[in-house]
Amino acid sequence: MSIYTSVRSCRLCSSKRLKKAVPMPEIQLTEKYFMTREEALNNAFKLPIDLYVCQECCHAQITDIVKKDILWGDFTFWSGQTAKMREHLLDVATWTQKFLVGKDKPHVLDVGSNDGTFLKNFPSEYRVLGVDPAKDIARHANNDGVPTICEFFDRDIANQMIQNHGKFDSVTCLNAFAHCEDMNEFFDAIKNVLKPDGIFIFEASYLLDIVNKMLLGTIIHEHMSHHHLLPLCTFFEKHGFELFDIFNNDYQGGSVLGAVAAAGQHPMSNNLKNALQKERDLGFSSTNYFSDFNRRLTQLRYSVKSSISHWKSSGSTIAAYGASRSSPTLLSLFGIEEMIDCVFDDHAQKQGKFVGGQGFPVLNTKMLTEVMPDFTLVTAWSHLDVIIDKNKEYTEKGGKFVSICPEFRVI
Ligand SMILES: [Zn+2]
């Protein structure tokens, strides 16, 4: 039995006119770690991750969808794990609250609420509820005082929520928005749990940043959609709703927050008007916006692979820094998995294990100056500055950090 299925129609507009826009090598699933090297080598889950563009609405998406229990079974991402993430979620909570001014004891729901870090930012008079399918993470949130239902959010769970908790003034879906397999069913469930004047807030990596800044690390099996605003406007309109405000931020290299309500309730903000015009001006209202990206990707792949192959054949040791979700994409995309000796990572639950399919060990980041690899590729690319700052001893002793995404640079 296959562990993935291929969809044939656009996730937003249901058109069957999907065209492969970025051919990718098959990529190892993220977050798969094993106790022995042999086990890791025998458990290669390489799956297709080509990017497609809908020829009707221009939405960018992947069509090969990994089964839910395999994709999410080993989920290890915790919202509260970095100060940067906590600060970002505080900003998003502040942005959300501006739409709830004047409401009495606002009732807010967060879909994909993770460890509850986001919901903790709301004032005590708010009534908050989270829903998240990851058992350990949801248990932690509940123990930490954030009421959390441990389920995938869908139509049935939405109905149960209405019965047990009533409807909501706002529903947020942040990182989980790009994870939606069936957007129409998902948004029907969202509409159902919202009060008539309720607001839906989403956040996703922004396609224009992915394309323009080469944010390759965002291309992972969990991200089924790579959103921009023009197709989303059409999608929400089809559901009788309107996107009326947005806020761009630099989370994960470039993300967009959007506010959505039933049609006719809010005027369109200038931020949104300007962003839509920019998308049209930069060619994102037509379907070939990946063509220059593909050209730059070919060049980047050549630079990375030829340099690292040269270092390796000259006897240098090569490590990666960050057993992150983007690590398999970057290593496979550049064809350099075989050249990696080990990966350093902060998370105790990964240390001492071996990376699935690739078989190299995950070591504690504290061992970096002991092992002293000649070159260390920063696969946790969005934390590049923090990593360099934290590991001055390594560079002082002659080690070299290397950025491989969004640009190739020896530091
Ligand atoms: Zn479409």
Which DSSP string do the residues of 91-151 spell out, in sequence order? HHHHHHHTTSTT-SS-EEEEET-TTSTTGGGS-TTSEEEEE-S-HHHHHHHHHTT--EE-S
- Rounded to the nearest whole angstrom, what is the distance from the C-alpha of residue 298 to the centroid of ligand 1? 27
Answer yes or no: same fold for 79-281 and 304-410: yes
- Rounded to the nearest whole angstrom, what is the distance from the C-alpha of residue 131 to the centroid of ligand 1? 28
- Rounded to the nearest whole angstrom, what is the distance from the C-alpha of residue 330 to the centroid of ligand 1? 27
Per-residue pLDDT of the chain (411 residues; tens, 9 = 90+): 588 889 989 999 999 999 999 999 999 888 888 999 999 988 877 899 999 999 999 999 999 998 887 777 666 677 777 888 899 999 999 999 999 999 999 999 999 999 999 999 999 999 999 999 888 889 999 999 999 999 999 999 999 999 999 999 999 999 899 999 999 999 999 999 999 999 999 999 999 999 999 999 999 999 999 999 999 999 999 999 999 999 999 998 999 999 999 999 999 999 999 999 999 999 999 999 999 999 999 999 999 999 999 999 999 999 999 998 889 899 999 999 999 999 999 988 899 999 988 899 999 999 999 999 999 999 998 889 999 999 999 999 999 999 998 899 999
Contact 320, 28 (CB under 8 A): no
- Rounded to the nearest whole angstrom, what is the distance from the C-alpha of residue 278 to the centroid of ligand 1? 20
Domain ranges of the chain: 4-27+35-64, 79-281, 304-410
Amino acid at 112: G
- Rounded to the nearest whole angstrom, what is the distance from the C-alpha of residue 357 to the centroid of ligand 1? 34
Task: Name the pTM for this structure.
Answer: 0.92
- Rounded to the nearest whole angstrom, what is the distance from the C-alpha of residue 54 to the centroid of ligand 1? 5
- Rounded to the nearest whole angstrom, what is the distance from the C-alpha of residue 289 to the centroid of ligand 1? 15
Could you write out the three-class secondary structure of 213-259? HCCHHHCCCCCCEEECHHHHHHHHHHCCEEEEEEEEECHHHCEEEEE
Residue 215 makes CB contacts below 8 A (sequence gap 6+) with: 205, 209, 252, 253, 254, 405, 406
- Measured from the Cβ of residue 409, the count of other Cβ atoms closer than 10 Å reads 12
Domain 79-281: give its CATH architecture.
3-Layer(aba) Sandwich (3.40)
- Rounded to the nearest whole angstrom, what is the distance from the C-alpha of residue 221 to the centroid of ligand 1? 19
The third-level CATH classification (topology) of the domain covering 304-410 is: Rossmann fold (3.40.50)
Q: Which of 122, 136, 59 is nearest to 89 (CA)?
A: 122
Sign of the C-alpha dihedral, residues 137, 82, 319, 217?
A: positive
- Rounded to the nearest whole angstrom, what is the distance from the C-alpha of residue 109 to the centroid of ligand 1? 28
- Rounded to the nearest whole angstrom, what is the distance from the C-alpha of residue 219 to the centroid of ligand 1? 19
